[in-house]
Each structure stands twice: as structure tokens, then as C-alpha cells.
């Protein structure tokens, strides 16, 4: 069956034909037969240079040799034991060594679980209830973070099935807005347990913090007994050896990981200082548990991946990012287009609008129709980027100069055509 037939078949058994909504792009998603290095292949006989990379995890490219080998060896000796393995200590030590804020961590199964547990921990530690997030920030799909601004500054659940009462404990702020942040904290400081933020907002494209914004967040939370959580599910092990907190030199109280940390296998983690993490069960009273926590397959994927991600890895990967962005930048200049190219390290996105982009409201003014056309035309030409203006493109170490040059040329031609 081809992708179109498979999608029609899938729709009979899976809601919307997919297992996560972003995958259901129109008219139908391509069904993958395999992924190797920088490319993925579909059942219709096409291949694509992949800048989606599973929405970030595949930083070494697909089916990396070292991962195939190490994970294969692990699978051969068992995949689940329900009792600890030495490998959990090994990966924990690697994260502690790299990431400034982490002295201890708990492995879970997804980014959603990581933020859910970190928020519970922050509430337990501060003995306060409210949380603050930023408009357009994505922290997984659990109830407290799935909210949208309602009328008159109120917060509404962003899904059916979430009680209005649940959302009442979440407050929302525009990103990069110092004044709004100061006012909100001033008003609610005795109730706010935590502020959770993506240091680079990777779920509304690739939106970067203004100079000094993360530092202000750090200072204001410290002064008011509020825990600062960096949601580094995307930026963790993506931006640099020690993640975004090292890149921006702002150290949060807690951090959440996912995506890259599992080397392509399901994982999540949250960590921080001993004094805070010691409150997690069984050593403390904040409950957290999971059948697949610390799963040896995912942990092996993580150890093998982090072993590859040494400091020189990032120099080489980020050079690829700089090269591709400079080529796209030149195309935008040459063609005198009103587009905004954003990106850093190995992340990038083109916003289909001009002018400064500081927050979610600015991103929403992008020309979505144009973006969709850009996405579809790239796909036709063998380039796969995430199918939404609100996602971010990623580069892997498997992308070689030919891949990047070809991509730059195709993007040039597609932008010209638009």
C-alpha cells in the first residue's frame, strides 16, 4: 500500500490516522519505511533530507551505528527488569557532570512526565500552588500546562476534558516582557511555586530570549522563593555540551529533559539540587513512579548518544547550522523577501512575516498559508521540515555538506517561487 492508502486504513483504527496530532498534515502524511543518517525514506519510493529528526531527538541522524550496536546488545540480555541497573548510575553521572543545575535526577518516560513531576516537586518544595508559564510555551500534554488565555486575562483549558478549576492554578505571561513578569510576580509571589520556561521557545518556531530576559527570570524567582524550571526537553544536549543553561549562563533550580536524552528511545528526566530532588519518593514525600522509569533500552540509547556528544561535536554541528542559516539569509536578502529567519546552534525556522518577533502574538501574525506552501514545496523537492510554522527545524551530525548545500539551493528556489 502507498501512503495515501495506508492513511485511509490508519484512520479506521487510530483517531485521525496518527498517534500524535502534529503528524496528520494534509492531504496525508508520508508513511516511513526507514531512516538512515540524514535521510528518511517513505513507502512510496521517495527519500527526504530530514530536518524534523523526530521533532529533535535524532541529533546523530537515523540508525547511528554505535546506537544500533549498543542497544542491540542490551536487548539481547533483557529489556525490563523492575530492579535497578548500573547503567542508570552511569547516565545519571553523565548528566550531572554536564549540566550545571543537576546534582540528582529521576528518569521517567517522556517530556510530559518530566514537566508534570518537576511541577509537583516545585509545589511540594515551596508549599505553594500556582505555576506560571509563557504563552506559546509547550510543556507536554498534562492538565496544568495545557491552557490558553481566555477573556479578561483569565486562563482557560486548551482541551476538552480539563476542569476549569485545574487551570485556575496556572498563570500565563507573554515571553520577553519584563514589565508583565515583574507585575505578575509582585501580585502573586506568595502563591507562585514555579515559573516554567523553554529557554529557547522551540514550540512556536525558534524564538530566542531577549538579552537579559532569562537573567531577570533567575533573579526575580530567587528573590521571591519561586523555583525556576528550565524545560530543556528540546534544548537539552542540543544547544551545547551543558545545554541551554550553559549556553546562556543562567542556572535554574530544576531542569526537564526528554527527546535527545534517550538517543531515539522514549525517555524523560528531571533534575536539580540535592536539597530539592531529595523530596522525591522514596527519599521524600513528593510521589513519582513508573514501570518503565530508567528502562535499560532507553538508558543505553542515552549513554551511547551522550558519549558521542563531546565538546568538539558541538563545534562541528553548530558550524553546520551557521552555514545553512547564512545561505538562507543570503537568499532572503537576494530576493528582497519580508521574512524573518531565526535560529542558533543547530536549530532554525523561517517566520513568514517581517519585523521583530519577541513573543507568541508576534509569531501568530505569520502568513500560515505561505508557510504551508513552503512546507509542501520543500517536501516535493525531497526536504522534510516539521509541517508547521510553530515548530523548529533541527540539523543532525549526519547532515553533510552536500545535504546542506542542496537544501540551501532548494530553499532558495522555493522562496523565489513563492
Ligand X SMILES: *Cc1c(COP(=O)(O)O)cnc(C)c1O
Which residues are near ligand X by CB under 6 A?
Answer: 110-112, 115, 138-140, 198, 202-203, 231, 233-234, 258, 268
Find the catalytic residue in 39, 128, 144, 231. Answer: 231
Question: In 3D, which of 242, 302, 305, 246 has the Cα closest to residue 59?
Answer: 305
Report in angstroms how near the CB of residue 327 gets to ligand X at its nearest.
26
User: Residue 110 or residue 300: which is nearer to ligand X going by CB?
Assistant: 110
User: Residue 267 or residue 280: which is nearer to ligand X going by CB?
Assistant: 267
What span, in angstroms and rounded, lies between the C-alpha atoms of 22 and 223? Answer: 39
Report in angstroms how near the CB of residue 34 gets to ligand X at its nearest.
23
Question: In 3D, which of 272, 259, 271, 244 has the Cα closest to residue 301?
Answer: 259
Report in angstroms how near the CB of residue 291 gets to ligand X at its nearest.
16
Match 515559573 to its residue by C-alpha cell. Answer: 195
User: Residue 193 or residue 244: which is nearer to ligand X going by CB?
Assistant: 244
3-class SS of residue 42: strand
User: Residue 202 or residue 209: which is nearer to ligand X going by CB?
Assistant: 202
Report in angstroms how near the CB of residue 145 gets to ligand X at its nearest.
8
Active site residue 231: yes
User: Residue 263 or residue 268: which is nearer to ligand X going by CB?
Assistant: 268
Q: Are the C-beta atoms of 287 and 281 separated by less than 8 Å? A: yes
User: Residue 197 or residue 357: which is nearer to ligand X going by CB?
Assistant: 197
What span, in angstroms and rounded, lies between the C-alpha atoms of 348 and 356? Answer: 16
Report in angstroms how near the CB of residue 190 gets to ligand X at its nearest.
27
- DSSP letters of 65-81? HHHHHHHHHHHHT-S--
Q: Which residue number has the CB closest to ligand X?
A: 111
3-class SS of residue 291: coil
Find the catalytic residue in 48, 138, 144, 247. Answer: 138
Report H helices in 37-177.
65-76, 86-98, 111-126, 164-167
8-state DSSP, 248? T
How do 192-197 and 227-231 pair as beta strands? parallel
Residue 381 neighbours by CB under 8 Å, 6+ apart: 410, 413, 414
Q: What angle do CA 230, 232, 233 make, to 5 degrees?
A: 135
User: Residue 3 or residue 348: which is nearer to ligand X going by CB?
Assistant: 348
Find the catalytic residue in 128, 130, 133, 259. Answer: 259
Q: Are the C-beta atoms of 111 and 268 separated by less than 8 Å? A: yes
Report in angstroms how near the CB of residue 36 gets to ligand X at its nearest.
24
**What strand order describes the sheet that includes 39-42?**
32-36, 39-42, 47-50, 383-384
Report in angstroms how near the CB of residue 232 gets to ligand X at its nearest.
7
Match 512526565 to its residue by C-alpha cell. Answer: 113
How do 170-173 and 130-134 pair as beta strands? parallel
Active site residue 138: yes
Q: Which residues are catalytic?
A: 138, 231, 259
Amino acid at each position: 500500500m502507498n501512503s495515501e492508502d495506508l492513511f485511509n486504513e490508519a484512520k479506521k483504527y487510530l483517531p485521525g490516522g496518527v498517534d500524535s496530532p502534529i503528524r496528520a498534515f494534509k492531504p496525508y502524511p508520508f508513511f516511513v519505511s526507514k531512516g538512515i543518517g540524514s535521510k528518511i525514506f517513505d513507502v512510496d519510493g521517495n527519500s527526504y533530507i530530514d530536518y524534523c529528526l523526530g521533532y529533535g531527538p535524532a541529533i546523530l541522524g537515523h540508525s547511528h551505528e554505535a546506537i544500533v550496536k549498543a542497544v542491540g546488545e542490551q536487548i539481547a540480555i533483557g529489556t525490563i527488569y523492575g530492579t535497578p541497573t548500573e547503567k542508570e548510575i552511569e547516565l545519571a553521572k553523565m548528566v550531572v557532570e554536564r549540566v550545571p543545575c543537576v546534582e540528582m535526577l529521576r528518569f521517567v518516560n517522556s517530556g510530559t512526565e518530566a514537566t508534570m513531576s518537576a511541577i509537583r516537586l516545585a509545589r511540594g518544595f515551596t508549599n505553594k500552588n500556582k505555576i506560571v508559564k509563557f504563552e506559546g510555551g509547550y510543556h507536554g500534554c498534562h492538565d496544568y500546562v495545557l491552557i490558553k488565555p481566555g477573556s479578561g486575562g483569565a486562563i482557560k483549558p486548551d482541551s476538552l476534558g480539563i476542569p476549569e478549576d485545574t487551570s485556575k492554578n496556572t498563570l500565563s505571561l507573554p515571553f520577553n516582557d519584563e514589565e508583565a513578569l515583574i507585575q505578575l510576580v509582585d501580585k502573586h509571589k506568595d502563591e507562585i511555586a514555579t515559573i516554567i520556561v523553554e529557554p529557547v521557545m522551540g514550540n512556536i518556531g525558534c524564538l530566542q530570549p531577549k538579552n537579559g530576559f532569562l537573567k531577570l527570570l533567575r533573579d526575580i524567582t530567587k528573590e521571591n522563593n519561586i523555583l525556576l524550571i528550565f524545560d530543556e526537553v528540546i534544548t537539552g544536549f542540543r544547544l551545547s555540551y551543558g545545554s541551554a543553561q550553559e549556553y546562556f549562563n543562567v542556572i535554574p533550580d530544576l531542569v526537564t529533559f526528554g527527546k535527545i536524552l534517550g538517543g531515539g528511545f522514549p525517555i524523560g528526566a528531571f533534575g536539580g539540587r540535592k536539597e530539592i530532588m531529595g523530596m522525591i519518593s522514596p527519599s521524600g514525600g513528593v510521589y513519582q513512579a513508573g514501570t518503565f522509569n530508567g528502562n535499560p533500552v532507553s538508558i543505553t540509547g542515552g549513554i551511547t548518544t551522550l558519549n558521542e556528544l563531546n565538546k568538539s561535536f558541538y563545534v562541528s554541528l553548530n558550524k553546520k547550522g551557521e552555514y545553512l542559516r547564512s545561505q538562507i539569509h543570503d537568499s532572503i536578502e537576494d530576493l528582497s523577501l519580508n521574512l524573518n529567519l531565526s535560529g542558533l546552534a543547530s536549530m532554525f525556522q523561517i517566520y513568514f512575516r517581517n519585523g521583530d518577533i519577541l513573543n507568541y502574538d508576534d509569531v501568530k501574525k505569520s502568513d500560515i498559508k505561505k508557510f504551508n506552501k513552503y512546507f509542501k514545496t520543500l517536501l516535493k523537492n525531497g526536504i522534510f521540515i516539521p509541517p508547521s510554522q510553530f515548530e523548529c527545524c533541527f540539523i543532525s551530525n549526519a547532515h553533510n555538506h552536500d545535504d546542506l548545500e542542496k537544501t540551501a539551493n532548494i530553499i532558495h528556489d522555493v522562496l523565489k517561487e513563492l
